Chain A
Amino acid sequence: MAVGLRHFTARAGNGVGEPILDTDNGEELVHVQPSVSVAVGNRVPESPGTLYITNRQVIWLSELDREKGYAVGFLSLSLHAVSRDPEAYPSPCIYTQIETEADEVEDESEDSDSECSEVLDLSKIREMRFIPSDANQCVYDSVFPSTMDTLFQVFCECAELNPEPIEEGEEEGHNWIFSADQLEDEAGAGDDVEWHFSQNPTNTIGHSNGHHDLASSVLELQINDQRFDDAEEMEQDTDTGHHHQSQQ
């Protein structure tokens, strides 16, 4: 399910304007925050851009490089927090953790990898920081919420708009009651097994009395006699019907 971080370049107005959203499917812009730097993984912050928060995802578009932009869906955002401790990070920022496909697999120190490699593999990025340039202003202003608090609130509200979709396969897995079709199939299969078992005791009884010769002659007689065959078939039918009833 987790898609993780991805590149985003779809901008309106010949590539200079706002991000192109999936408005046909109900995506709406919720908040725009100019002058926000972004730090991907533990890389250095990139030149400022604009943060667009929609009801589906967070999009950051660079101001300088029109080809540069990132997006992450709220379904992939495991955690977001207001980080103001200079020991944790030099600038106050919105810290986010991103769930990636690779999270299913064993963690192989991606932090050092992503720093060394020339090509940035966004699908392996597990952290991202949004650093508003005016973050230090009004931080302790209790009357007007700071940019950070506003951003945090918007992130929260939009995250709540994106609950985990119920996966169909999962739903079936939890379902302990089989469908009516399955029930019938099960009953049919069970019937065959039952039938063989119920035949066995009859044979055993026939042979267990010690008169083996008598038993086999009777069997021959039955096989050669059409009337007995019919009778036996009828008996089988009755038996099968009985089992069906007891199973359902």
Chain B
Amino acid sequence: MTETTGRLFEGADWDFHTLQRIHDACEHVAKNELGLDVYPNQIEVITAEQMLDAYSSVGMPLFYKHWSFGKHFAFHEASYRKGLMGLAYEIVINSSPCISYLMEENTATMQALVIAHAAFGHNHFFKNNYLFKQWTDADGILDYLDFAKTYVSQCEARHGRVEVERTLDAAHALMSHGIDRYPGKKNVDLRAEEKRAGRRRQHEEEVFNDLWRTVPKGATKSRSALSIERRRKLLGLPQENLLYFLEKSAPRLAPWQRELLRIVRHIAQYFYPQSQTKVMNEGTATYVHYRIMSKLHQQGRISDGNFLEFLQSHTNVVFQPEFDDPRFSGFNPYALGFALMQDIERIVSNPEDEDREWFPEIAGKGDVMGVLRDVWANYRDESFIGQFLSPKLMRHFRMFHLHDDPEERAGIRVDAIHDERGFRRVRRELARQHDVGFIDANIEVVDVDLSGDRRLILHHHVIKGSQLNETDSKRVLQHLADLWTYDVALIEVDANDKVLREYVVSPRPLPAAA
């Protein structure tokens, strides 16, 4: 098996045999040296145009049709044509088999880099990280997307494109609040879910009987019995998953609309782990490709020239501009992630006294890959940074913490810098920056006035005085009200339950009553 002789390729040209050879060589290193555990790989070579296609449907190979994807496509295409934007070298999909798209323009070295990065780095992370294990179903996602696509087009045929579009628009607006942040009782199994959805619709169609409508109902319960606590409990309130709440409780949605909300919700949920693990995911993939490529070079399977080409791309990828650089736009997840991984390697294999003090569990443990694999499996960005950002790395990046209080006249305060007093504070703040709990607005459904005008009441818990953007919020609330079909109120409250602002939106009249 160990055919560690001979160059994998010469120069920049490649063909499909080259790709296979590269893949096999990478696989050998990944399995035997790094001990990675990956889904089977499916490597697809695509053109720039196909890459643009993939961009506009959030990287998925198939997706339901919606104008917003067309908008993104037009936007990407325009900037690509003008040369404002380069395309990614690859896209990788968390599915089994794990699909990696490679651009045909890449040189052989780039293909090797990309295969090592995506087909082994990302792939391992998808398969082993606890968030992905918990929230995504790699086996079922492609089937589910296929179902979603068919279902949406069926709905369009049956209910008209405009109606479907209206529902999807609203669902997309609420997508960022259609996520379960904490695992509930049931497991998300997309394939079973899809079957169940089909069965449920079928059942509803089969047992439909108009007579049930005429059966006399018992005496209505007294209003006082429906105490606020009781109805909140019945509706499962407070509920932060707005799409879930609408799907289950919106009074006048048609079944197919609920199904659409469900589809959007499931897809949002599928992408949820990715937004929480950007730094780790890219850090892992970058570290893996670096290790694999270095090894291949050591074995003499990649020539010095090609290795230099690789190093150049690699350095570009992990470049971190400083805060006063015009190119600066926040921390580069590749740079931060890769630096953290390398730092862990250093701490495990060659620690200093400081590291022994900060990381007693891993310092000098010796088993680099064992530690890293454990890290990759059990952390997300926030906990990962909170745990493993070392003082040495903070000094390396020369990190500092700014505290910007609009009330403060003197300006923005430098709260902590990369010194002995500041390390822990800087690290805590950086971890918080990567915590979705702080990034997304915390909005929940708190009550519905069922006995009155059915007004839906939402609370936004304002953190650190950061309120919602007014124009956007009104639009989103308009969508929400259209789905709810009664008034919707959003109240922004601060930590002391003081009301800061209140929005009330009424639904737009529907052309045809649902």
Are these two chains actual partners, yes or no?
A: no
